[in-house]
Amino acid sequence: ASTNKTSSSAFTLQAMVFSQQETLKNFMRKHANLAPVLQYKTIRNEAGEKYVVTYGAFSSLSEANAAKKKLPADFSQAYARKK
């Protein structure tokens, strides 16, 4: 297997990080129309749990940044990053 393999969805937009599950649930409910591309994952460490909300899967940074411009104001602080 080649280690140079390019993924067709190498980037995502990180929209938010929440520390309270209830705040996460409210955000996900508010933006339910963006499902299933709006997702979250739980990260656990010694400080507790954090919920990282991501949006989409993009082949390039420019594609991710273009998508961000079309999202609601709640996503103004979102940033593109590798998945």
DSSP string, 9-58: T-EEEEEEEES-HHHHHHHHHHTGGGTTTEEEEEEEETTEEEEEEEEEEE
CB 21 within 8 Å of CB 70: no
CB neighbour class for 52 (10 Å; exposed up to 12, middle 13-18, buried from 19)? middle
pTM for the whole thing? 0.85
pLDDT at 3 over 70: no
**What average pLDDT does range 54-63 have in this prediction?**
96
pLDDT band at 2 (very low <50, low <70, confident <90, very high): very low
Based on C-alpha coordinates, what's the Rg of the chain?
14
pLDDT, tens digit (0-9, with 9 covering 90-100), for 18-42: 999 999 999 999 999 999 999 999 9
Mean residue pLDDT of the chain comes to 91
Q: Which residue did the predictor score with more confidence, 36 or 7? A: 36
